[in-house]
Amino acid sequence: MNTEIIENFPANHKAGFVSIVGKPNVGKSTLMNQLVGERLSIITSKAQTTRHRIMGILNGTHNGQEFQLVYSDTPGIIKPQYKLHESMMSFVRGSIEDADVVLFVTDIFEQHDENDVIDRLQKSEVPILLLINKIDQATHDQVTEKIAYWEAHFKAQEIIPISALNGFNIDTVFDAIFNRLPVHPPYFPKDELTDKPERFFASEIIREKIFLNYKKEVPYSSEVIITSFKEKPDIIVVQAEILVERATQRAILLGEGGKMIKKTGIMAREELERFFGKKVFLEQFVKVEPDWRQKERMLKRLGYDE
């Protein structure tokens, strides 16, 4: 840790870890990006988009008090089918253990089958805020009904209906977090936005475009490794390896005459340029790595080893 910053904070400085957990697709990543004010986590309409614990750090002053909030976006909680999933769930566990506040995100469409999430949370002593997301898609009565349901079925310190997409009630969520934040020195230097390196975000952006462009098993069987990331004065040159599990998936990824991979590459490059604020040259290679989701050694290499 940087000792220089430790010396430079007011005595009443507040800091803490806020873990964002819930089932897949409820809007955790959308919420984290709203709270941090940056597009750090990738978002798609498919479940199980997020595979890592991604920290988004927000520094500021609120009511005259300096603070640092370290949000953790996490993978949606599922019953593991692959070693990959086990590792994803260990990221969730770790984030709950570290948390000063947990945001338990549910959405208006959920069919009350979040028992696995609830079991996990009710064992922890951490203050929990239950958020009901996507209320832009619901009537007033449906929201009231959902609140009543959760009041009867879960012990949360607060229940807050939100729309992460539209930013509705995000300030209420912030206040609820801030009120529970302990007085503590900052955990990270104040100019850091995340715990993850640039390469990680490059691979996530490519993975997002794969999730958007391909169907069924293909996105879930794909992983992206950045094999080279070279920043030059006016351009970043990125080489990415896309792993799939089978030759048939490789063929789908490439598409007829390489059309699909080209489209994916263009979308990824445009997003990379937005994210890094610089021109990007992107080269992609598609490689078959049978059953990588089950192979411990591969998973380690891919960063699933918390």
56 binds ligand GTP (CB under 6 A): no
Indicate which single residue of 15, 17, 21, 25 sits in contact with ligand GTP (rule: CB under 6 A).
Answer: 25
Which of 56, 76, 186, 219 contacts ligand GTP by CB under 6 A? 76
Among 137, 139, 227, 228, binds ligand GTP (CB under 6 A): 137
- Binding status of residue 169 toward ligand GTP by CB under 6 A: no
In the complex with ligand GTP, which residue's Cβ is closer, 34 or 264? Answer: 34
Question: Residues 45 to 104: which contact Mg ion by CB under 5 A?
Answer: 49-50
Please give the Cα distance from 163 to 166 (Å, whole number): 5
* Interaction between residue 29 and ligand GTP (CB under 6 A): yes
Question: Exactly one of 16, 18, 19, 30 binds ligand GTP (CB under 6 A); which one?
Answer: 30
CB-wise, 165 or 254, nearer to ligand GTP? Answer: 165
Q: Which residues between 23 and 52 bind Mg ion (CB under 5 A)?
A: 28-29, 49-50
Q: Of 15, 36, 40, 43, which lies in the binding site for ligand GTP, with binding defined by CB under 6 A?
A: 43
Least distance in Å: CB of 116 to Mg ion?
17
Residue 39 within binding range of ligand GTP, rule CB under 6 A: no
Footprint on this chain of Mg ion (rule: CB under 5 A): 28-29, 49-50
Footprint on this chain of ligand GTP (rule: CB under 6 A): 24-30, 43-45, 47-50, 75-76, 133-134, 136-137, 163-165
